[in-house]
Chain A
């Protein structure tokens, strides 16, 4: 549904994108991860026909974003980083305006507006000017605005930045609802848990380059920092260190907690058996999967 190949973009002397490729199958969610300046928004701007790239080719919903921009625009919905709602208009008026611009009759536009306001829990605020909306309501109206034309592909640039936890969860639900209805979603985020929970596939961008791509699981496996940690009574720490070393592990001590990188989850059994044989009782024992934070920090070489 989205097919970007070797996309290059420069602004003056600055290379914003140095040959980025992203492929998103229909009906899936793709997460673009990267810190500020990594090129996420530039890529979104190209995918949504705002910039023409200086190199590479991009098709969205089967149409070239440069040659067939008008066709692409009929099939996409975009929610930018900053809410693009008209403050002087009410929630309903905002949505009806867009419906009319997309060619719906007044009646159809009103019906669609009511539907979306309901979906986003804005029915009570429908007839109030957007000026008085809270940050969360404004973002919801913004997202609703991008769905008026029932787009095939939805682009969300940092959809939950600045939202309270409850609104974030609500936004995730909306994304899931969209995808279950067959919509393709591409979202950018700085929140790794967001990409982890929402995205089927992830691309990690750093300085305009793809540094990693795949499913969340694949990325975690690539970094492979799965660890076992054991918390013990103070007197047991020394003996436990020796025991784990004898079991072929390389534990690090931090207070009463020992942490050791392991290859697979089977290592947990090894640790349990070794400690049990040595007569050491652990207060807490666990296997830790690498988080996307680990992936991100390892791949982008950023300092934690």
Chain B
């Protein structure tokens, strides 16, 4: 939408003196500048600390509370619970980051900080892409810190090693991106921070727990097992776990990437329309 060329005849009939107008910015410049704007939020060290602390607390709690699951039937024999848990946490942390994406955009939209951008000759989609890139960077930092902490504190050392863990981490980022777009799309229409948080937790928590994240699906009550089997997050977790534990399942990996890509494209289209409304 920014690629419309100016027809030569379209000079405005104006009595005002001709002004030197800056050249228009390309979409890449827009995304770059707007991502920079979002990244400035990270200047607040408290925010960085807290956003790192939250997944760490989850890691500590889950790894200790659910430790005995390693002895239950259906658990891969000979594996450590931390090796089993961490790939799942790499995926679920991203889903929570998605809630903050939506809430962050809703805050930006409701306090008027973005009102001016709609009257600028820029693509509003680049604003959303920038938001998403920012979330992706923050999420990547979180996941790397999480993985290092798991290795140092709890002896995380899966069979897949660093390459497998890296692939698991990338899958987590793919899931986070898709879900971030879903919440960005919702926020671009809803624009209420509290509402976004409520909806976020209502959607994300069942997705997280009714999945293969913390216990083998076979250990779940039958009705929950049905939900967990159709839960797309289960595919993502199985895929991430597969790479980390050197037992990759290409079907789950492909499904995960396709679902993430589908969510991204669909939600981005909806979000671009929504964010234009004043």
Contact of B10 among A27, A50, A71, A181 (CB under 8 A): A71
Q: How far is the CA of A100 from the CA of B120 in the complex (A)?
A: 12
- Residue of B4, B12, B33 near A61 (CB, 8 A) is B12
Proximity string of chain A (127-169) to chain B, C-beta cutoff 8 Å, 1 when within and 0 when not: 0000000000000000001100110100000000000000000
Smallest Cβ distance from A114 to chain B, in angstroms? 15
A62 to chain B, nearest CB (A): 3
Interface pair B115/A80, CB less than 8 Å apart: yes
Pick the residue among A49, A61, A84, A152 that contacts B116 (CB under 8 A). A84
* Nearest CB of B to A223, in Å: 32
Asked if residues A152 and B14 are in contact (CB atoms below 8 Å), the reply is yes
A146-B25 Cα distance, complex, nearest whole Å: 17
Given contacts A45-B278, A149-B21, A150-B19, contact A62 B12 (CB under 8 A): yes
Tell me, in angstroms, the Cα distance from A75 to B4 when the chains sit together: 15
Q: Judge if B2 is at the interface, Cβ distance under 8 Å.
A: yes
Chain B residues within 8 Å of A244, by CB: none
User: Is A299 among interface residues, defined by CB-CB distance under 8 A?
Assistant: no
Query: Is the C-beta of A35 less than 8 angstroms from some C-beta in chain B?
Result: no
Given contacts A50-B118, A50-B278, A101-B33, is CB(A83)–CB(B14) below 8 Å?
A: no
Q: Secondary structure of the B side of the interface?
A: loop
B2 nearest CB neighbor, chain A only: A70
Are B16 and A183 in contact (CB-based, < 8 A)?
A: yes
B112 close to A62 (CB less than 8 A): no
Instruction: Tell me whether A26 and B19 are in contact in the complex, defined as CB-CB below 8 angstroms, given that A80-B116, A82-B112 are known contacts.
Output: no
Stretch touching chain B among A102-110, A188-196, A273-281: A102-110
Q: With an 8 A cutoff between CB atoms, is A259 at the interface?
A: no
A61–B14 CB distance below 8 A: yes
A23 within 8 A of B: no
Name the A residues within 8 Å of B116 (CB-CB). Answer: 78, 80, 84, 98, 145-146
Min C-beta distance of A43 to chain B, whole Å: 13
Proximity string of chain A (77-101) to chain B, C-beta cutoff 8 Å, 1 when within and 0 when not: 1101011111111000100011111
Considering residues B13, B34, B116, which has the most beta carbons from chain A within 10 angstroms of its beta carbon?
B116
Known A70-B4, A76-B119; judge A152-B33 contact (CB<8 A).
no
Known: A63-B10, A97-B33. A102 touches B22 (CB 8 A): yes
**Number of A residues whose C-beta is below 8 Å from B?**
49
- Asked if A150 and B20 sit within 8 Å, CB to CB, the answer is yes
B residues 192-207 with Cβ under 8 Å of A?
none
Query: In the bound complex, do residue B112 and residue A100 qualify as a contact, i.e. CB atoms below 8 Å apart?
Result: no
Determine the distance from Cα of A78 to Cα of B16 in the docked complex, in whole angstroms: 18
Asked whether A48 lies within 8 Å of B119 as measured between CB atoms, the reply is: yes
Is A288 an interface position by the 8 A CB rule?
A: no
Contact A103 B23 (CB under 8 A): yes
On chain B, the residues within 8 Å of A97 by CB distance are 33, 37
Residue of chain A at shortest CB distance from B12 = A62
- B277 — nearest CB in chain A belongs to which residue? A50
Residues of B within 8 A of A84 (CB): 112-116
Complex Cα–Cα for A49 and B119 (A): 7
Which of A26, A74, A80, A103 has most B Cβ within 10 Å? Answer: A103
Chain B neighbourhood of A55, CB < 8 A: none
**How many Å from the CB of A250 to the closest CB on chain B?**
47
Task: Jot down 24 A-B pairs with beta carbons below 8 A, ordered by A.
Answer: A1-B12, A25-B15, A27-B15, A48-B119, A49-B118, A49-B119, A51-B278, A62-B11, A62-B13, A63-B12, A73-B119, A73-B120, A80-B112, A82-B115, A88-B41, A97-B33, A99-B22, A101-B33, A101-B34, A102-B24, A103-B24, A145-B116, A150-B19, A181-B17
Q: A98-B116, A101-B122, A103-B24 are in contact. List 7 more A-B contacts (CB 8 A).
A: A62-B12, A78-B116, A80-B116, A84-B112, A88-B40, A97-B33, A104-B23
